[in-house]
């Protein structure tokens, strides 16, 4: 569970546009996990997603996977042995997604992200990122 001080700090960083992946990303993922367990709207948003997403950053040694199954979110900051979709991007692109500065579909079409697997499945993760930021900032 993310304590209120960490949550408020993360919200402030997102609002100011200065989130740091190395320092803040685990808190961001923890907030998403909390919402997947307690927020009815968030639970409804993810209830039909049954995928494991692997994200690899091409310009830094930073990888994580997100498993959205049975209305829950699990994650880890490493390589998943059997993801449904692998998404490759830079640290800046991921940061811009979290800060809602860029759209996942447009970024894909512009070549800013590469996808191994289903593009439509990968875009689910993009929609989740966008939705989760809106929930955090409510």
Write down the pTM of the prediction: 0.87
- Residues forming beta bridges with residue 107, ordered by sequence position: none
What's the angle, vertex CA 22, arms to CA 105 and CA 29, rounded to 5? 60
> For the structural domain made of 4-137, what CATH number should be given?
3.30.1050.10
Please report, for the chain, the start and end positions of each structural domain, with discontinuous segments joined by +.
4-137
Per-position pLDDT tens, the chain of length 138: 557 887 888 888 888 888 888 888 888 888 888 888 888 888 898 998 999 999 999 999 999 999 998 888 899 999 999 999 999 999 999 988 888 888 888 889 999 999 999 999 998 888 888 888 888 777
125 close to 46: Cβ distance less than 8 angstroms = no
- Residues forming beta bridges with residue 75, ordered by sequence position: 66
Q: Are strands 72-76 and 63-69 parallel, antiparallel or unpaired?
A: antiparallel
């Amino acid at each position: 569970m993310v304590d209120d001080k960490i949550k408020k700090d993360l919200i402030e960083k997102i609002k100011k546009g200065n989130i740091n992946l190395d320092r803040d990303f685990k808190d961001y993922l923890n907030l998403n996990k909390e919402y997947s367990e307690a927020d009815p709207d968030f639970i409804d948003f993810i209830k039909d997603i049954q995928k494991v997403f692997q994200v690899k950053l091409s310009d830094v040694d930073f990888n994580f996977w997100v498993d959205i199954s049975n209305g829950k979110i699990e994650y880890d900051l490493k390589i998943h042995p059997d993801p449904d979709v692998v998404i490759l991007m830079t640290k800046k692109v991921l940061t811009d997604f979290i800060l809602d500065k860029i759209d996942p579909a447009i970024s894909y079409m512009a070549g800013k992200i590469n996808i191994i697997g289903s593009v439509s499945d990968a875009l689910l993760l993009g929609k989740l990122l966008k939705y989760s930021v809106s929930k955090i900032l409510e």
